[in-house]
Amino acid sequence: MQQLENYIAGQWVKGSGKGTDLFNAITGEAIYRADATGLDFAMMLAYGRNTGGPALRKLTFQERGRMLKALAFHLLAKKELFYQVSAATGATKIDSWIDIEGGIGNLFAYASLRKQFPDETFYVDGELAKLSKTGSFNGHHICVPKEGVAIHINAYNFPVWGMLEKIAVNLLAGMPAVVKPATVTCFLTEVVTKEIINSNILPEGALQLICGSANGILDHVTSQDVVTFTGSAHTGAKLKSHPNIISESVPFNMEADSLNAAILGPDAIPGTPEFDLFVKEVSKEITVKAGQKCTAVRRIIVPENLLEAVQIAICKRLASTTIGDPAIEGVRMGSLAGLEQLKEVKEKVKLLQSSQQLVYGNLDEVKLLGADQKKGAFMSPILFLNDKPFENTDCHNIEAFGPVSTIMPYQHLTDAIALSKLGKGSLVCSIVTNDQKIAKEFVVGAASYHGRILVLNNECAKESTGHGSPMPLLTHGGPGRAGGGEEMGGKRGVLHYMQRTAIQGSPSMLTAITNQYQIGAIQQEKEVHVFRKHFEDIEIGETVVTAKRTITEADIVNFSNVSWDHFYAHTDSTSLDGTIFDGRVAHGYFILSAAAGLFVDAKKGPVLLNYGLDECRFTKPVYPGMTIGVRLTVKEKMDQEKRDEHDVAKGIVKFLVDVYDETGETVAIATILTMVKKRMDI
């Protein structure tokens, strides 16, 4: 039997105790031993704070994102090894795909998210707040990485995805992690972690691993640490109330198992694509990962007149599901993760059976292919019928964390909404309907009790990721029973590991701190036009003040003819009565084009192309006879990596374009992006 190792302070070490035996969920054979006895958790956290944290905080968001991308490619190349080990958890090929490649997909997603962040070690959040009459005193918000460790206490059902979906976020934020997977399946997490460490892609101290009990680790957390927990609401509540969590005000994010619901819309009758989609989706949620998903459908809520049809259709699909050893061709459902989980699920099923009718499955017998029920952690899918769901409420309070679900009727959509809320908060809810009014009524009515709502119909079914799949760039969490937390969530998730701090000062001082030009800051004119400079030589706040141009009626007419924009305010001076205009007005896009004509240096140089336009506003009408000028100011710079050895070394420069009239008042303002070549092609 192989003893698993823990990764602590840059070393792989074994525990000093007897440990816990881990078993192959299919054969019942003891295959590993996990032990974390004797680990110095205080030293572990200190190592993350003092070694991993500083190394990550030195990197910019762009560098951290590229690091995640490299790690994703490395793990993808090793996936076959992970699949081999994953089979011992009872997972089928599809189950393992969700866990392994789904987890790696999170790394790719957060690597791409770097494009929403600056080329800095910190993030400037939101817009400038003007705090004074003249604009000499303003405020802003800056987000910097917390100087602690992200401690991830994960569930047993997704030993790879559970780790990667979380560390992708904290690593992009610039914070190291200690991962504590659930012991029963931690052998798969250990294999993946060893590949991560061996790759040398992450800075030392950025990731540590505990295979075994981490009892006592919360005694050493500080206010700069972040704790995340995935698992039962009962365990999560105990951890969240730890005295040190409370006294140190440690951020604690909980994602708890919940009684998720799937609702069939009254329009989705037999014969419609939506009816078939519903049956397929619900059946899949019962059997994928043998129902061991925090997002699995536990309550099936259908129109009263369709109850029998839905029940028959689901039972038929469940009956066609082959259960057994995932290594055998044709097996569609494997085992639970272990015998302890099997025992717990059976206990919960017996509790549920006391208040509702069993309509499919056998708690004691299951037909298997290539496996022995006496050795493996197998069980039959279980479907209950609850014909009085407002009276018999066990199904809204008791969760069997396995292939178990309850079907129940509703009369009106308001009843379906009410039933979905009886779960007291869920990670996800879905409604299958092709009626937009029904979809809107349900979503608006039920959203306060659910972290995510999938609206499924034939239009999106082909590309839908399904009820049970949270997406990296959307929040994953839910209110009430679901824990009240949010994991992932794109930029929101990253900011969870950062401290948002308000900063106040003069525009020039805020510009110097944020490295982003703030309106009102000192603008520096240089002898050399900014378009003649390479990316490295351009400075934040550097400004080009252009010559001026008087706008004529001929300009407006010519632009109308070129653009085909013959909007009345530009072309018909007889139609202006009752409008806000005093006469024929210049097109806003002409003013912007004219501004470009003023600030562009036409000769060939380091500027490669115009990359885009952000935040464009036309703030004052420009009439014939008015004169405009432009102040073009370097607002922000973002480095870009080369796609390959033949690519040009370059970066993106954001310019603030301030177009003003002869009175000095701004008539148009925008941010343009240019792609600028670097001086050194490296």
Q: Which two tokens stand for residue 211?
A: 């295979």
Residues 320 and 311: their CA atoms lie apart, in Å, by 14
Query: Which entry of 255, 285, 399, 487 is annotated as an active-site residue?
Result: 255
Q: Which two tokens stand for residue 509?
A: 């001082």
Measure the CA angle with vertex 247, ends 246 and 251; round to 5°. Answer: 50
**Which residue carries 């705090």 as its tokens?**
131
Closest CA to 450 of 347, 301, 313: 301
Q: Are 620 and 589 in contact (CB under 8 A)?
A: no
Closest CA to 152 of 433, 465, 496: 496
- 171 three-state secondary structure: helix
The answer to whether 147 is a known catalytic residue is no
Query: Which entry of 143, 211, 294, 395 is annotated as an active-site residue?
Result: 294
Q: Are 5 and 190 in contact (CB under 8 A)?
A: yes
- 436 three-state secondary structure: helix
Complete DSSP assignment for 32-80: EEE--TT--HHHHHHHIIIIIHHHHHTS-HHHHHHHHHHHHHHHHHTHH
Count other C-beta atoms under 10 Å from residue 191's C-beta.
18
Residue 207 bridge partners (DSSP): 177
Q: Sign of dihedral through CA atoms 505, 509, 512, 516?
A: positive
Maximum pairwise Cα distance, the chain: 92
The answer to whether 143 is a known catalytic residue is no
Residues 536 and 285: their CA atoms lie apart, in Å, by 53
Closest CA to 218 of 440, 367, 44, 85: 44
Q: Are 342 and 377 in contact (CB under 8 A)?
A: yes
Residues 417 and 439: their CA atoms lie apart, in Å, by 11
Question: H/E element holding 442?
Answer: helix 436-446
Q: Are 630 and 513 in contact (CB under 8 A)?
A: no
Question: H/E element holding 139?
Answer: strand 138-145
Closest CA to 181 of 214, 137, 205: 214
Residues 534 and 543: their CA atoms lie apart, in Å, by 15
- 366 three-state secondary structure: coil
Closest CA to 503 of 511, 495, 491, 493: 511
Residues 375 and 339: their CA atoms lie apart, in Å, by 9
Count other C-beta atoms under 10 Å from residue 243's C-beta.
9
Active site residues: 255, 294
